[in-house]
Amino acid sequence: MSSLEQIEQLEKFLRFSGRRLAPVLSGVKPSLLLHVRNSQTRPERRCYDLLSQHDWRLRDVTGLEHLILSDNGQGLQILFFNRHALEAALKDRRCRLFLNRFGYTREFAGVDADLRLLTERFADNVEFPHEIGIFLGYPLKDVAAFIYRPGATRNLPGARWRIYGRQEGSLALMRLFEQAERLFDLLLQGVRVGSLHELKELFNNFKLEDISYESCA
């Protein structure tokens, strides 16, 4: 595969992933953890090879910052993040107290400092750092319960994460993420988007709360 073909495949892959990235692009979700591997059945979909070789192009294509949290030679775990939204999530006082249990500073020292420690915890390979749920924008109660009281959490049909206690807030947040994804679908129906970076600019012209869930169906 030529370099030009590889770049085209990369952009096609990321546009395909754009629906999942939509909540991050819109700012309603601070980050997304994307697992990337080569296809075992379709040689043309060697996503791991493509992203490994063209990691430096990801920001241009997506309009988002990213960080490779792990690379085992066969697959990548990449965190795409919206810096402004991630900073807001990590600065929350209650989240700081929770993250402090895992070695993060009690006082917020910056997005990059927290991401460095998260990367180190991925590299330890002792256990999966489930506090990443805070980085992903999940409610603190759900993240904490998943770690300390997993048996008390519920996996509701269609839910994106396990919920603890009152469902309303968690489900409302999931609907907001879904709304961003549905808006992505609507934009692609009526707008030719050359890259996810262009889509990010389009999102700036919309207010998600002004678009009913039914209108996006």
Reported as a pLDDT band with limits 50, 70 and 90, residue 26 is: confident
Higher pLDDT: 178 or 74? It is 178
Beta carbons within 10 angstroms of residue 191's beta carbon: 10
Place of tokens 């997304």: 32
Q: What confidence score (pLDDT) does residue 215 get?
A: 27
Reported as a pLDDT band with limits 50, 70 and 90, residue 184 is: confident
Burial class (CB in 10 A: 0-12, 13-18, 19+), 27: middle
Report the run of H or E that residue 70 belongs to, with start and end.
Answer: strand 65-71
Reported as a pLDDT band with limits 50, 70 and 90, residue 143 is: very high
Reported as a pLDDT band with limits 50, 70 and 90, residue 216 is: very low
Give me the percent of the chain exceeding a pLDDT of 70.
69
Q: How far apart are CA 47 and CA 34, in angstroms?
A: 12
Place of tokens 């968690």: 170
pLDDT reading at 11 higher than 90: no
Highest mean pLDDT of the ranges 100-104, 155-159, 170-174: 100-104
Tell me the residue range of the domain where 142 lies: 3-216
Burial class (CB in 10 A: 0-12, 13-18, 19+), 140: middle
pTM of the prediction?
A: 0.79
CA–CA distances in Å: residue 71 to residues 85, 117, 150, 190: 25, 16, 28, 37
* Mean pLDDT within 65-69: 91
Higher pLDDT: 188 or 107? It is 107
Place of tokens 């997506």: 62
CA–CA distances in Å: residue 35 to residues 7, 49, 112, 148, 196: 19, 13, 21, 25, 18
Would you mind telling me the total number of residues written for the chain in this entry? Answer: 217
Q: For residue 13, give the 3-state DSSP assignment.
A: helix
Q: How many domains does the chain have?
A: 1
